[in-house]
Chain A
Amino acid sequence: MDYALEVEGLSKTYRKRKGFKVRETPALENVSLRVRPGEFVGLLGPNGAGKTTLLKILCTLLLPDGGSARLNGFDVLKQSEEVRRSIGWLHGETGGRALYWRLTARDNLRFYAYLQDVPPRVARERIDTLLDFFGLRGDADRQVLKFSTGMKVKLMLARALLHNPPVLLMDEPTVGLDVRMARETRDLLRSLSAELQKTILFTSHNLTEVEKLCPRVAILHRGRLIADDTTPNLAARLKTREIVEVKAMDAWRPAEVHRLQRLPSVKSVEADGENTLALEVDEAPQAILELAQALGTMGVRVQHIAQREPRLEDVFLHLTGEPTTATKPPTPETAPRETPE
C-alpha cells in the first residue's frame, strides 16, 4: 500500500430545501490528496473551508457527491466497516459532548473498546494506561458530566487511541486543553507518527501549533485544496513578500490598526501575538521608516519593530485572504476596553 490516504477528485455540496427552492452550498470541490503511511499532515483552512467535511467523508459519516477516497487501502464507500476499524477520529469542536455524560470515563472507554473489538483484558490495560497519560486515572470512575471541557477532550483523545488505529483524524484535538496537556498531546501525536508510523491528519486554528507539528501542510479554501507542500516550501512561496513585526507597549486600538492599514507601503495587517501586529509590506526597510513616522504621530509606544521571515500564518493569510480565528486583528467589538485619553 503506497498511500494510507488517497483522495481523488472529492466533491460535496450541501443542499437545503426551502419551500420550492434548493439552496446549494459547495463544501468540497474536486479535492485530491495523497498521504503516505506515517505522514503527519496539517489540514488548514478558515471556518467553512471544508476541513470537517473532508474528515467526515473519511470517517464514512458523510457521502461525497463525486470522486473517491481510500483509507488504509479501503474504499470509504464500499468498505466502510474496514475504514471505521482503521481510524481514530476526534471531533474537538463538539467540546466533549460526544461522550455518554451520565456514565463514568471508564465505562465510556470500555464501551467503545467493545465496539472496536478490543479484547477485555487488553482493553483494561489500555484504558488504565491512557487514563494515566491524560491525567484522568483519579477521575476514571466519576460521571463524565462532572468533567471540565478539557477533561472531556482528553477522554475523547483516549477513545480515539484505544483500538490503536493506523490512521488518526484529529479535528482540533487540542481545543480546550491547558498549555501543559496540549504540549503533551502534541508530543504524543508526534511520537505516534514517528515511532509507530501512524498516519495523522491534523486540523487546528493554531497555526504555530501546526507549524511546529506538521512537516506537511494542506490548505483548503472554499472547498478547494489551494496548497499542499512542506512548511518550508510554503514559506518560500512568500519570498517576494516581506513581513514587518511591530510590538507595542499597550494593546492596539482599532483606529490605530485602521490607520496602519491605510499606509501606502502596507498591504495587510494581522494580529500576531500579544500587542503585536504583522504587516505585509512591499519593501521592509522603507516601510519601517514610514511606520516609525506614523506610529510616532499616533503616539503609539513601540517596544519593537523589525523585519522577520514569513511564517505559516503569513502563507495562510496570503493564500486564503482570511485570517484564522486566532489571528484576527482587533475590531471595535473585539478590542480590549481602554479608558479614553
Chain B
Amino acid sequence: MSAEAPVIALLRRPLPGGSRPTESKTLAVTLLRLKIFLSYRYFFVVELMSIVSLAAVYYFVGFQVRPEALEEAGYGRSYIGFALVGVAASHFLYTCISRIGHIMTHELMTGTFEAVMSTPVKHREYVVGQALVGFVMSGYLMAGVLLAGVLLLGAPLVATPGSIGTAIVFVLLLMASHLGIGIFAAGILMVHKKGDPITFILDTLTQLFAGVLFPLSLLKGYPLLEGFSRVLPFTYVLEGLRKSLLTGATLAEPGVARAAGVLVLATVILIPLGMLSFHRGFDKVRRLGLTGSY
C-alpha cells in the first residue's frame, strides 16, 4: 500500500454539511489566544506587580487630597479607594485595547492573519474573538489589583452582593462599550502596521479627562474640559464602578442607572463603527497587498 493511501481513503468520505454558529467560532478564536497567553508563564505575575506598585504610589499621593472633596462628589472619603478603582479600571482598559493591537500586529507579521482569513471565518468572528481575549486576559488583572489594594493598602471597598453585582455589570459594560474602539484600533493597525494611535489617544484622554485620579467636580471651572469628559464612555464606567465599590450603590440609584444607560448607547454606536473600520481596513490591505508583512 502506498504511503498516501490512508489519506486518500479518509478524504473520500464526504464531510457533513453545515457551518458553525458565529458565537462558537468567536469563542474558538478567544480560546486559541488564551492558550497562547497562558503559555507565557511569568507574564501574569510581572504585569500584576507593576500595576500594584503604581497603585501604591497613589497611596502616598492620597495624603495630599482633602477627603471632603471626594465626599462632596459622592465617592466616600478614601482617596486610595478612589484612585485604586480608577487605576485598576484604566489599566484594564489600556491593556485590553493595546493587546488587541499587539495581537493584530503579531498575526500580520507571522502570516497567521492570512492563514485565518483564507478560511470561511467571518470578520466579526475573528475580530470580536481577538478583542474578547484582550478583555478576558485583563479581567484577572483588574480583580488582582483591587484585591491587592484592599489587602496591602487597606483600600476600603464595599463588598455587598449588590455593590459587587453592580461593579460586575459595569465591567461588562466597559468591555462592551470599548469593544468597538478596540476593533477600530485593529482596523487602523491592519493598514499602518506599527504605531497604535488609538490606544495612545485613549490612554491619554482617559487619564486626563475621565477622572482616573481626581473627581470630575474639579473640572467645574473649565466647562470645555468638563464637557469633553462627558463624551468619554470611560467617565461613566468610573462613575458606576466607584459609586458601587466605594459607597455600595446599586443600579437602582438614578445616577448609576443613567451611567449604565449611556454605556449601552455607546456600545450600540461604537461596535458598528469599529466593524466598519475593520471592514474598510481589510479592503484597503487587500487592495494594497498588505495582508501579510512577513
Q: Is B35 engaged at the interface, CB distance under 8 Å to the other chain?
A: yes
Interface string of B103-138 (1 = CB under 8 A from A): 000000011101111111110000000000000000
Given known pairs A59-B118, A129-B7, A184-B3, the reply for A100 and B19 (CB within 8 Å) is no
Q: Is A206 engaged at the interface, CB distance under 8 Å to the other chain?
A: no
Query: What is the CB-to-nearest-CB distance from B96 to chain A, in angstroms, rounded to a whole number?
Result: 20
B-binding residues in A (CB < 8 A): 12, 14-16, 27, 53, 56, 59-63, 81-82, 84-85, 87, 89, 91, 94, 97-103, 107, 111-112, 114-119, 122, 125-126, 129-130, 132-133, 143, 159, 161, 163-164, 184, 187-188, 191-192, 195-196
Q: Which of B11, B28, B40 has the most CB of A within 10 A?
A: B11
Given known pairs A63-B286, A84-B119, A191-B8, the reply for A99 and B36 (CB within 8 Å) is no
- Residue pairs across A and B with Cβ atoms less than 8 A apart, 10 shown, are A62-B286, A91-B114, A99-B115, A103-B35, A119-B16, A126-B11, A129-B10, A161-B11, A188-B4, A196-B12
A-binding residues in B (CB < 8 A): 2-8, 10-13, 15-16, 18-20, 24-25, 28, 32, 35-36, 39-40, 110-112, 114-122, 283, 286-289, 291-292, 294
Query: What is the CB-to-nearest-CB distance from B111 to chain A, in angstroms, rounded to a whole number?
Result: 3
Contacts of B19 in A (CB 8 A): 117
- Nearest B residue to A82 via CB reads B120
Counting residue pairs across A and B whose Cβ atoms lie within 8 Å, the total is 132
Contacts of B288 in A (CB 8 A): 14-16
Cα separation A59 to B120 with both chains bound (whole Å) = 11
Given known pairs A100-B32, A115-B120, the reply for A130 and B7 (CB within 8 Å) is yes
Cα separation A276 to B12 with both chains bound (whole Å) = 44
Q: When the two chains form their complex, are residues B112 and A192 in contact, meaning their CB atoms are under 8 A apart? A: no
Q: When the two chains form their complex, are residues B2 and A115 in contact, meaning their CB atoms are under 8 A apart? A: no
- Besides A159-B115, A191-B8, 8 new A-B residue pairs in contact (Cβ under 8 A), listed by A number: A12-B289, A53-B289, A99-B112, A111-B28, A115-B121, A122-B15, A164-B11, A188-B8
Cα separation A39 to B92 with both chains bound (whole Å) = 54
